[in-house]
Amino acid sequence: MKLHGQYMRLRAHYGSTDEVSATLDELAAILGCTHRNALNILGKMTRQGWVAWTPSRGRGRRSLLRFMAPRDDIAVQSMMLAMERRDAVSAAMEQIRSHAGVSALQDTLQSWLLAYSGHHAEMRRDRVIDTLRLPIRQPLHTIDPLHMNLLAESFVSSHVFDGLVRRGAGSEEILPGIAHAWETDETRTNWTFYLRKEVLLHNGAILDAGDVVYSFSRLIQMPRGRLYSFILRDIVEVTAMGPLTVSIRLKAPNELFLSFLCTSRAAVVPREPERSGESRLVHKPVGTGPFKIAELNREFCVLEAFSHYFQGRAQLDRVEILHVPWDAEPSAADSGSPFHIIQNPLPEESASLSRTHTETSVRKFITCNTKKAGPLSDPAIRAEILSCLDGINEPDGGTGATDPDGGSGATGPNGVSGCSGMSGGSDPHHLAAVGKTASLPGLSLRIATIPQYAADAELVAKKLAGRGISAAIVSVPPEEFKGAVRMEADLILFSLVRDRDEQLRLFDLYQTLAEHVTPQIRSEIEAGLHLIARESSHAARAEAFRRIEDRLIQERELHILYEKPVETAYLPSVRGVRFNSQGWIDLRHVWFPQQ
C-alpha cells in the first residue's frame, strides 16, 4: 500500500503528463527518500507494470519515466488493499485525497465507496446474510461510556450496551431496559431497580446486580468535567441488594435522574472486561446490546447481531462502519444508490428519497467570559461585539452536528440564524449601550472552541475583523475544553444538540457557563438549576430553562449564531426506520426486503 501512495505522489507531481524527463535526484526529492531508495522504488513499480523507466548513463543525466497505470486504478487498488487489512483505511483515503489533485479521481473514489457502502446480501450455508455498510466522518477512539466524546462513538456504544431504562420512541416516557421495574421512596432519593432474569452478555455470561454496581462505581469515580457529571455527583451509594436488585441512593432529589439513566453515558458496562484486562474494554467490549463487537479500531468497526438479545434479535446480521475522513455522500439522489440512509441530505440529494425529521436540531452559540478581566466585563462593549455576529450562517459543507455527545449549548425562542431581536438589532438597551461604547478597532480577543467547530470560529473571527477586532482561535479536543483554555478565552464557541436529552444538556451547559459569568448572574443560574432539579414537570423545567436563557441574552452573556435541524433521507427499500433519543437511526429495527 505504501508503493501505491508513492505512485500517487509521482502522478500528482507531474499532473496528466504520461511521459516525463527526470533525474534520479529529482525523483528522490519528490518521494522524500535517498537516491538508492528511489531506484528501488522505480524497480518495484516497473515489475508491477505501473511505469517504464529508461535510465541514462551518468549521475545527473536525465532519464525517461513513462507512466503506464491510470492513477484511478492505483487509487482503487490502494483502497481495496486497505479494506482487506482494515488497519489503515483512513490513512489510505487521506493519502489518495492529498495527492489526487483532480476532481476526476475524487469521482472515481466516490463511486468506489458508493459501491462498497449500503446494503449487501449474500448466501452463507443456505442463509441470507444482510450487511449494512455505513461511512462515518469521525474516528472511533472508544465506545466506553466513561470516555466517549464523539457522536459516532455514542452511536456505536448505544448498540452494544444497554441502560437500566430507556426512552419511548418519540416521547418522554421512560420504559424498561435491563431493569423490568423500578420504584422510589417519598423523598425521591432512594431508588430501587429490579433486573430482568437471565440477560445474557455477548460472552455468554449472565448479567447480575454486581455488574450494575461495577458500572456505576466507574462512573462515580470519573473526573470532573465529563458530560452529565452533575448527576453522578449526586449519587451517594450503589448497592446490590440481591442478584437482581440494585439500590441507588442520591444526596438530594433530582428529577433528571431517570432521564440520565436513558442516555448512552449511563449504559451498563459489565465487570467481565476488567478481569481480562482494561484493554478489552477499549478494543472489543462485551455488553448486552442487540449487536456485539466483532472488530473495532479507529478506522473500522464490525457489529454482528446478538442472537440472544433480551428485547429481540436485530433483523440485520452485520453492520460494518467505516471511518471516511471526508464527505462521502453522493452528489445527487440516485434510486440505485447504496447509500440507503443519508444524514442531513442536500435538497438535490434527496429528490427520490423519503425524508423524515428526527425531532433533533443543532444550535451553535457564543458565550462571553465575563469573569476574565478585560473589555468584555463592560456590558456595552459586549453588546456591540455580539451585534457584529448577526447574520452568521452555517459554514459551507458543515454538518452542524459533529460532536453533540461532548457538547452542550443554549436554546432561544426564535430558532433563527443570528437570533435577531435576541441579542442586538432593534433592542433599545442594545442601542443605548452602543452609544456609550468606545471604538472597537484595536481590540484583541481569544476564541476557544473544538476542532469540529473551527469553521464556525473562523466565520466569527472574520466578522469581528470587519469591525477592526482581531480574534485568535484556540482549538482543543473536547475532553480538554472544560479546562483552563476556556477560562483564558474571551469568547467561547460551542453547540447544543436539541434532542430528547436536551434538558440534561442544558443543565450541564448552565453549570459550566456559570463558571465564567459575573457573580450576580452565577447566583441566579445556580438558584434556577436548584429549582429545576426538584421540578417533576417536564414543561415547568423547560420554562425555567427558558428564563435562564433569556437572562443570559439580556445581559449579553450569550449569543445564538444559528440553528440547523437534523434530517434523514432514506430510500424506500429501507424498512423499520426509527430514531434514538439523539436522532440517529436505531439499527436494531432496520431491515431490507429480500429480492
Instruction: Kindly list the domain boundaries of the chain, sorted by start residue.
Output: 1-109, 134-272+281-312, 361-393+441-566
Categorize the per-residue pLDDT at 141 as very low, low, confident or very high, splitting at 50, 70 and 90.
confident
Averaged pLDDT for residues 322-349: 46
Give the chain's mean pLDDT: 80
For residues 313 and 330, what is the distance between their CA atoms, to the nearest angstrom? 31
Cross-strand pairs, 368: 491
**Residue 278's pLDDT band (boundaries 50, 70, 90)?**
very low
Q: Which residue has the higher pLDDT, 416 or 197?
A: 197
Phi, psi of 19 (to 5 degrees): -140, 125
Taken in order 442, 444, 445, 450, is the CA torsion positive or negative?
Answer: positive
Task: Look at residue 95 and tell me whether its pLDDT is greater than 90.
Answer: no
Q: Which of 23-37, 139-153, 179-193, 448-462 has the lowest mean pLDDT?
A: 139-153
Q: Would you say residue 328 has pLDDT above 50?
A: no
pLDDT for the residue 85: 60
pLDDT at 40 over 80: yes
- Residue 35 in this model has a pLDDT that exceeds 80: yes
The dihedral region occupied by 124, where left means phi > 0, alpha psi between -120 and 50, and beta the remainder, is: beta
Cα-only R_g, the chain: 27
pLDDT value for 225: 62
Identify the pLDDT of residue 190: 97
Residue 572 pLDDT class (50, 70, 90 cuts): low
Selected residue with higher pLDDT from 88 and 538: 538
Question: 361-393+441-566 architecture in CATH?
Answer: Roll (3.10)
Q: Which of 220-234, 305-319, 425-439, 552-566 has the lowest mean pLDDT?
A: 425-439
CB distance 483 to 225 below 8 Å: yes
Residue 202 has pLDDT above 70, yes or no: yes
Q: How many CB atoms lie within 10 A of CB 501?
A: 26
Do domains 134-272+281-312 and 361-393+441-566 share one topology? The answer is: no
What pLDDT does 87 receive? 54
Answer whether 422's CB lies under 8 Å from 390's CB.
no
Strand order in the sheet with 245-250: 179-184, 190-195, 245-250, 235-242
**Does the structural domain 134-272+281-312 have CATH classification 3.40.190.10?**
yes
Question: What Å distances lie between residue 448 and 9, 386, 387, 489, 500, CA to CA?
Answer: 36, 16, 19, 6, 27
Q: Which residues pair with 54 in a beta bridge?
A: 64
Q: Residue 487: pLDDT above 70?
A: yes
For the ranges 238-252, 461-475, 479-493, the lowest mean pLDDT is seen at 479-493
pLDDT at residue 307 greater than cutoff 90: yes
Q: The pTM is what?
A: 0.74
Mean pLDDT of 497-505: 89
- CATH code of domain 1-109: 1.10.10.10
Q: 401 vs 71, which has greater pLDDT? A: 71
Alpha helices in 55-88 (DSSP H): 71-85
Q: What ranges make up the beta strands (E) of 51-163?
A: 51-54, 63-67, 118-124, 127-136
